[in-house]
Chain A
Amino acid sequence: EPEVTQTPSHQVTQMGQEVILRCVPISNHLYFYWYRQILGQKVEFLVSFYNNEISEKSEIFDDQFSVERPDGSNFTLKIRSTKLEDSAMYFCASSEGASGGDTQYFGPGTRLTVL
């Protein structure tokens, strides 16, 4: 069964450094998402992406964040200058459509630790 993959599984970085989290969505999906989950808290929407553009973004997704689809298979989340509070699990998801009734398939996540 096709699945969303994410690399790395765990990233440790120093505060102020840039990190890039990578995702390979399911191949025939057109909509891509990033969510994050701070330890012990709920899963929170960050951004959705379609047709090489951001569709929606939350208040969390400020200027330090950016997303890109650099080629036909990868979808990346860049955090320019990491802060301690960026430590969280970051989940990529993809769906065929975005009608609200389309299932989002989540990857296993990247655990980001900012020291």
Chain B
Amino acid sequence: SQKIEQNSEALNIQEGKTATLTCNYTNYSPAYLQWYRQDPGRGPVFLLLIRENEKEKRKERLKVTFDTTLKQSLFHITASQPADSATYLCALDDSGYSTLTFGKGTMLLVSP
């Protein structure tokens, strides 16, 4: 069966450090992988999209890698800030029709 797995335990880091979140998937062949941020009681907010032929994508302090052989994406936040504390969701579109399938998300807590 198809699965998207993200670290279920919260990631606690200190301000200024780099946070690295993992998304692993099985039985998918996605052309795209997306990362979203979700704050409590709010809707997901799009952060980055990476295509299967891209190894790495950057946007300001964010970096995403995509390894289709390992079936894994890593999401990095450099110079993390307490305002980065949120749940980060990985999402795949395997259908080609933009029906996103989300992972459960990893909560990131950045302490001052």
- A-to-B contact residues, CB < 8 Å: 4, 31, 33, 35, 41-45, 48, 55-56, 58, 89, 91, 93, 95, 97-109, 111
Contact = CB atoms under 8 A, between A and B. Distances in A.
Contacts, number: 70
Interface of B: 31-32, 34, 36, 38, 41-46, 49, 51, 89, 91, 93, 95-105
B105 to A, nearest CB: 7
B25 to A, nearest CB: 13
Given A98-B97, A100-B93, A42 B103 contact: yes
Tell me the interface secondary structure of chain B in the complex. Answer: loop
B103 to A, nearest CB: 6
B49 A101 contact: yes
Contacts of A111: 41
Nearest to B95: A56
A45 to B, nearest CB: 5
Nearest to B50: A101
A52 B101 CA distance: 23
A58 B43 contact: no
A75 to B, nearest CB: 15
B89 A43 contact: yes
A73 B41 CA distance: 25
A45 B98 CA distance: 10
Given A55-B97, A100-B32, A43 B46 contact: no
A10 to B, nearest CB: 10
Specify which of A89, A103, A111 lies most central, judged by the most chain B CB atoms within 10 Å of its CB: A103
B45 A45 contact: no
Given A100-B31, A101-B49, A101-B51, A58 B44 contact: no
B42 A108 contact: yes
A41 B89 CA distance: 12
